[in-house]
Amino acid sequence: MGDGTRLADSFIHLGLGASAIPQPPFDGPDWYEHYGARHASDGAEGRLVSLHRFNEGWASWEMHPKGAEIVLCTEGSMLLTQEFPDGRRAQLRLEAGEYAINPPGVWHIADVATHATAVFVTAGEGTEMRERSDFPVD
């Protein structure tokens, strides 16, 4: 292994002034609240770069009201479902090396058949979550 830092272990905040700031190790859902507090002064211009591995579909929907999110599948495949403000839904199958953009205000969720790894570049300020009514996926 090289001398770099693993993105899965230490996410990166892209902030004002074209800054890139390594973050403390991810340790669960409460981490996001602390991240928001650390970088609140960057407002909607701040971006979180993270990497997550999935062996099952997401348990909840999410929506980022103040900015777009990039989802880059790096391993496996995932089915990204987007729900637009007008109620229309779109599904995008992402294979390794492919990406999609979740526009601001679009609810989204992902499903995986076996496994997937993805890099996310997220405008997280004001992120909302809602329960998934059809979880778990058969």
The whole-number mean pLDDT for each consecutive block of 10 residues of the chain, a chain of 138 residues, reads 89 97 92 93 96 95 97 98 96 98 98 96 94 64
Q: Is 4 a member of any domain? A: no
Tally of domains within the chain:
1
Q: Is 37 a member of any domain? A: no
Residues 46 and 122: beta-carbon distance below 8 Å: no
Q: Is 27 a member of any domain? A: no
What are the tokens at 106? 């679009």
Query: pTM for the whole thing?
Result: 0.92
CATH, residue 109: 2.60.120.10
Q: Is 69 a member of any domain? A: yes
Burial class (CB in 10 A: 0-12, 13-18, 19+), 104: middle
